[in-house]
Amino acid sequence: MTLARRLVLALRSLLAMVLAFAAVYAVNMAGAGVAELTRFPWGGERRLLWDLGWVFVAGVAATVVAVGLAPAAPRVHAVAFFVLALAIDVAAVAQFGGDWPVWFSAGILSSLPLQVWLGASLVLRRGARKPVPEP
């Protein structure tokens, strides 16, 4: 494999990860927008449950993006997304966990493996992926 091809693959992998985390943000903002449009009240356990549901959907969507845009090794991209998202989730729970109920913090951390598995399964189940064309 040429150096140029490796560079292209690395840049496309990086772009897949950046877009995956942009998808997390976009889906979470969509959930907040839907809550606002439906006049879902702020605060309380019902709103936290709503937000946790959107965090789950965002994780699945982001995994679909990371794996679907992976130029090679889609499973490695799923694992990389999982590791990065887990680090962010752990940091968020460590910083804000005292402000959240225990069930919410536990839901944030424990649902991530299912989010990644489901998102990766949705992409990988589609069948064989086409290899990246030579530059």
pLDDT beyond 80 at 71: yes
Q: Categorize the per-residue pLDDT at 127 as very low, low, confident or very high, splitting at 50, 70 and 90.
A: low
- Could you read off the pLDDT of 39-63 as tens digits, one per residue? 888 878 888 899 999 999 999 999 9
* Amino acid 108: pLDDT: 93
Give the pLDDT mean for 110-125.
Answer: 95
Number of H helices, E strands in the chain: 5, 0
From 80, 79, 71, 75, select the one nearest 10 (Cα to Cα).
71
Coil/strand/helix, residue 18:
helix
* Amino acid 134: pLDDT: 55
Domain boundaries, the chain: 3-124
